[in-house]
Structures are given as structure tokens and as C-alpha cells.
A = this chain, B = another copy of it.
Amino acid sequence: MDNTNPEVLARAGLTHIIEPNDQTGAALVQVTGAIDAYRLIREHTGPAPAREQQQVAELLDAHGASRSALRLDAGLERWRPRAALADPESDLKLMTRLGGGLIAPQDPNWPTGFEALGLAAPLALWYRGDGDLAILRDTSRLVAIVGSRDATEYGRTITAELVHGLRAHGICIVSGGAYGIDAQAHQAALAEDPPTNQSPGQRTTPPTIAVMAGGLNRFYPVGNEDLLKAVHRQGLLIAEVAPGATPSRWRFLQRNRMIAALCATTIVSEARWRSGALSTAHHAAEMGREVGAVPGSVFSANSAGCHRLIREGAATLVTDAAEAIELLNLPVQAPIPAEAVPGTRDSGTTEAEDRRDYDGLPIQDLLLLDALPVRIPRTADQLAIVAGLGMGSILGGLSRLAARSLAERTGNGWIRRFPNGREPQRGAPTPR
């Protein structure tokens, strides 16, 4: 939208003055509109005008958010000290120069997912980067992957696997641009999709979006500067605070609610018992979005947060990309072949195949199978006694087992056979 548009100018100013998730501010904007709200905060002195005071209180009540601290005059007292310092024109000029701008709720690219936030929705969205902004509307193609800052090699590996599988389905990976799991998620998404020489102005669908807690004029944290520059080149950075705003504790916590609201699904790939990633997951669950969490060693403090979410029922246990994609409720995937199922791939024992050979056999045939000798043949009569089966079951069973190459006639008796020449393991003749 046009930087001279009064709505855009007013909202740019408001993002400088009103903290994220200040519902009194959101209520005022809803009551008077952004332009009048901005004017009121800058120009009005003394107690809040009675009509607005009343309407804001009613709106907050309607959202069950009313508390004395949320009264309009308390809000005005909070906002006025900053109002004088707001300079939306120069903020907008700066962000345009940095390859970004402001999205107002009237903008066609305003994130659909923000509707779920009600009065907690951002007043406007600052962005920076070359990615196509249209992705913001497409909640179902946005998946958040978040986790603790002090990621382990385990957490990094599973994060990269999840990103790889999700990118293969054209999913855009959303995270918080922080150290650890966030950085790995962005990194893996960028690696999947090498930068193309696009002509200036030509925007492509971003592989990843970084949702920042501070102003987009700088790349923060410093240790992620190169990574975030790459996100700028190939994707998008977004924030609800004005350029120059520091990434404060409060803004970090509120940033988490934005990530959750933006995405159809949030996956916590590795998180400590107390981690901001858990607040993101809880925000998502409260909004009825899908939440996944990756389990790990019970001795790893870095998986304790994921286990906590699963135990609380706030998250579904997710072990690979296929299970993450299940959460998206995309068109159903082809079933995973048993060979690809964990526990059968690189299987140390023959248990898995072993069991498959016998699946679907009636009880009598299992009993008969157990009665078949490996070397010295037994007659049908002997088998009837050993297996505890009638002659009818014995003869029918022998033909069924022979058909599966599990039994073989030799002379006037029968012996056990093993498909693919597999012999039972020593000391473990049967699966438990």
C-alpha cells in the first residue's frame, strides 16, 4: 500500500507507540479507526473522552478482557510519552529503502490466520525481503518449526529432516529467527531452495519466513546476521513493532503468538521444560491449530518440553516428516511401505519379516506351525497330538502352510520350512 496513505501512516505510527497485544490500543483502533486513534493519542490531553472511554470498555468486556489496567485513560497515559517520538513517514521511508514496507489489515496480503487473534491481532505488519507477500494469506501452506535456543545435534538433525519433507510439499517454514532450532529451520529451508537470479521487483514464494521480536531495521540476534540476510534475499522477515524497536522480553513472548496465529500447524522439534517454544505451541493449541512435538531421549533436558506437550495432550507425537504432513490434513498420502517404517528399516532382528510371514494364518495353523519339527519329520497323526488339533485341521493346515512354503512333505512326514532360508535365532525360536 502507498506510504502516503493516511491509514498506513497512522498504523505505522501506532506500531511505534502501542506495545504488541495491548488490547486497549486494539479496542481504541476498532472504535475510532486507526487515523482518529493516532490523532487522539497525539493531540488529546487530560482524561480520556467519555464516549471513547465507554466504547473501549464495552468492547474489552465483550472480549472478556476488561481490567482496570486496560481502561482507555490508563492506556493514554502509557502511550502519550512515546507519541511525540513517533515518526511514521521516516519509518516508512527507511523500510522502503531496506526493501520492505508496511501491511495494514486492509491489505490483500494481510495474514488470514490473524483473524483468530481478535483484539490480540497486530495493528499492522512490517515486512522486509524479496519473498512474495501473498503467502501470508495462505495459512494452510505455513508451518512453524520452533524449539529451544540451545539445540543439540539430535534436534538439528530432526529439524532438517522435517523441513526437507515439508518443503517437498511446497510448505513455507516459519520460525522466530533465534539461535538453535529456529536458525536450523530457516537454514534448512533456504538450503532446499537455492537463490535464483530474479529481476528486481520479481517476487517468488518464500521458502521461509522469520517472525522477529524487534524492529526490522537491523538483523537480530547478531550471531544470525548472515542467516537473516539470506532470509531477506530468498524469503521474508516480518514484525509488528516499528523500526528501531528493541527485541524486549515482552515482545519476544508476543512474537510467539504471531507465529502460532500465522500458521496452520506448529511443530516443536526440540524444547526444554521451560521454553518460549512451548508458549508458541500453547497459543497454537488454544487457537485450535494442529501442534506436533518430536520425542527424544528421556535423559535429554532438550526434549523435556516436547514430552511435556505430548503428556499434556497439547501436541501430537511426531517422529518424521510423513507424520508432520499428516497434521496438515493435506490430500491423503500413499501409505508408507512397511520397509520404510521405523523399526523395520535397519532392523537388527528378523522379527518384523518373521511376523509378516505368519500374518493372517488361522489359530489352528499357528498351532500346527509350532508343532512342525525342523529336521526329523512328523506324521499327520503325530502332529495332531503335538499340536492338539483334529485331523481335519492338520490336513487343511499342512496344505495352507505348504502353500506359504512354511511346511514341506518329506517321505510320509512333514517338516518346518523357513522362507528366504531364514533360520530361527538361537535361544529365540519365537517372537515374544
Contact = CB atoms under 8 A, between A and B. Distances in A.
Interface in A193-225: 213, 221-223
B297 A249 contact: no
Contacts of A296: 295-298
Contact of A384 (B81, B179, B247, B274): B81
A421 interface: no
A351 B221 CA distance: 17
B392 A77 contact: yes
A82 to B, nearest CB: 5
A427 B304 contact: no
A221 B428 contact: yes
A138 interface: no
Interface in A56-90: 69, 74, 77-82, 85
Interface stretch (A2-10, A119-127, A305-313): A305-313
B307 A364 contact: no
A360 interface: no
Interface in A266-315: 272-277, 294-299, 301-305, 307-308, 310-311
Interface in A1-56: 17-19
Residue from A307, A347, A369 having most chain B Cβ neighbours under 10 A: A307
Contact of A320 (B182, B298, B351): B298
A306 B283 CA distance: 28
B388 A347 contact: no
A345 B249 contact: no
